[in-house]
Every structure is written in structure tokens, then in C-alpha cells.
Structure 1
Amino acid sequence: MSTAVRDDLVLSHAAITADVEAPFDRVDIAQWLKTLPTHEYQRCAPGDHKAAGYTVDDDGTPMSINVEMIGTGLVVQQYRFEVAEAHYCKMVSISDILTPSGWTTTQVIWELRMEQIDGDRCRYTNTVTSHPTEAFLKFIAEQGQTFSEAAEARQNASGRHCAVETPLYAESIARWASAR
């Protein structure tokens, strides 16, 4: 199965914001991700988020492992930290997806950003962008689905999912920062 990414094609994109009260100087998204307990992850998208963990890749790159439902697909994400800062993280995963028709893969780019608005007023932005792999394009063609149809379905499912998790992530990060 080819995991070559087609970054010229966008399968889905969502950028959702949520305002929250948090001590900005204590916010550390990278540390929050590295210590995020599974049950807290589940509270950030009840019913969809299944498990979270932290590990490193063979080369020592920190990784966040997430298992969640996006629409009808069970998605296993192995996010490699590309940027791991207190107020901004960018992670990239070649994610395995179990659909009703079988397994496939996509690339998912997850960006988490916290900006200070004024004092303890902060704005969290949760950005998720997905690109198909060559294997995904072959998989949907075998199912008789066009890329346009697959992208529309994924956009709808991912958009709904991000709308649920974004304010809950913001609250979780704020609680974590306040407890430090």
C-alpha cells in the first residue's frame, strides 16, 4: 500500500476557534499533549475519541498517538511533532483508517495554537487538514467513489468533529494551565 501523499489535493480542512480564560504564560500545548490522559482525551470529543498516548518514533521524534472516530471511519493517528512549542504545535500523521469497506490511509496535519487576546483571555485555534495518499485514491476508486465525493464526505465528518472537539480542547488546555 503506497503512503505517498498527494499534497496537491485537499481531502478536508477545518480551522475552528474557541475563546477561553487561561493564564497565557502557563499554557504549554506541547506538554499538555505529551501528558494528555486517555480519559481527558475522551472528554474532548465524547463518543468519538477512544484513546490517546505519547511515544517516540524510531528516530526519537516525539509522537502523539490518537484513536478516534471521524464519521464512519476509525482513525489511528501517529502524529509526529514537527513543531512543539508552548503556544503552537504542528503534528503530521500518516493515519490508518478502518472504513466499512476496509483499511486505507491519509495524511493528517494537526495544528494547535493558543493566542493571548487580553490578560487571561485567550483564543485557541484547532486546524486539521487532510490529504489523500495514493493508496486512498486507489481505495476510493475501487469502491466506485470519486475524489470529489470522498472529499465532501470527509469535509462534513471532519468539520463536525472539529466543531465538537475545539472548545473542549480549549477548556482542557486552560484547566491544565491553571493547575500548573
Structure 2
Amino acid sequence: MSVLIRDDLVLSQAVVTADVTAPFEHVDIEQWLKTLPTHEYQRCAPGDHKAAGYTVDDDGTPMSINVEMIGTGLVIQQYRFEVATPHYCKMVSLSDVFSAAGWTTTQVIWELGMEQLQGDQLRYVNTVTSHPTEDFLKFIIASGQTFEDAAAARQHASGEHCKLETPHYAQSIANAAIARAAA
């Protein structure tokens, strides 16, 4: 199945930061993603996050699987690790979205980064960018929406969702670093 992603169009983009205290040299976002338990994932966005898991794609590429509500849509993220380092990961997903109007797809790019401000003072940067697929564009036309209306709704929902999850992600990553330092 070939999916055409419209990376010339931005459906939504959110960049949210949160400051935490942890030993920078023990931060490992890649390892955190690969071992994130479902219940910890749920604590990172109460009510929105439903399940998380780790697998590999057919070609062996590591993948993070996340199931969450964003606004009124149930989103199944199938994130492939494109860049995976202790302080920065770039994940790309062709995501399935279920709404009252049915199923469609979008591309979601999730970037997780931890910057050292000074000593153990760190800043987590959570960036989520979504692009429509051709399937999504046909889907919204069939449901009587314009791209502008769909993008505005998605921007609002995704922005609010990122504001909820970012400080929790930051603290969860920091807690893992603190535990790693203590071990």
C-alpha cells in the first residue's frame, strides 16, 4: 500500500518545553522510549494516553507504538525511530486516526530533546508536527470540511494535548535519569 504524504502542508505543529532537574549525562531518551511502560505513558497525559509499546518494523527498525486521544480522534501512532540518541530522538509515524466520521491517516513527526541549561538544570523540548496524507484530504472533503478548518481544529487539539503531556514526559525522563545515576 502506497501512501502519499503531503509534507508541503502542515496540519498542526506544537513546540512545548518544560524544565527539570536531573543529571544530564544519565538522560537517555532512546532507552526511555524503548522501555516506557503503558501505565507511565498513561500518567504522562491522564485521560488521553491509552497504551504504549515497543516493537520493530519488518526491516528491523525500532518502533514505539502509542494509542491516544487527541481531541475527538483516537490516534494509533506507529513511530519509527529515525534518529535515536540519549538526548534527542526523532520519530516518524504514519498514524491511523479514528473519528466519528471513520478512519483516515496522517503523518506525525515527534521530536524529543533534552538540553542542558546549567549543571543539572535541563530543558525538555517536545515537538509534534503533523502532515496530511492524500487519504486525509479526501476524507475531510467527503465530510464537508476545508483543509483550513481541519487544520485549525487539529492545531487546537494537538496544542492542548502537547501542553498536557510535555511536563509529564520531562519529569518521567528526568526520573529515569535520576534512577540510572543512583544505580
Name the TM tier (shorter chain).
over 0.9
Percent identity over the alignment? 77
Structure 1 stretches lacking a partner, 5+ long: none
- Secondary structure of 1:163 counterpart: helix
Q: Answer yes or no: is the 8 Å Cα contact 1:106–1:130 preserved in 2.
A: yes
Aligned to 2:98: 98
SS in 1 for 2:90: strand
TM-score (norm 2): 0.97
Contact 1:3 1:105 in 2 (8 A): no
Give the distance between the partners of 2:28 and 2:174, measured in 1 at CA. 10
CA distance in 1, matches of 2:32, 2:93: 18
Q: TM-score, normalised by structure 1?
A: 0.99
Deviation at 1:116, TM superposition (A): 0.3
What is the aligned partner in structure 1 of residue 11 from structure 2? Answer: 11
Corresponding residue of 1:72: 72
Asked if structure 2 preserves the Cα contact closer than 8 Å seen for 1:52 and 1:67, the reply is: yes
Q: What displacement does 1:102 show?
A: 0.2
| Matching of residues 3-82 of structure 1 within 5 Å | 3-82=3-82
Cα contact 1:5–1:134 (8 A) shared by 2: yes
CA shift at 1:2, angstroms?
A: 5.9
Q: Which amino acid aligns with 2:100?
A: P
Point out 4+ residue stretches in structure 1 off by more than 3 angstroms.
none
* Cross-structure match for 2:148: 148
Cα RMSD after superposing both structures: 0.8
Aligned length: 180
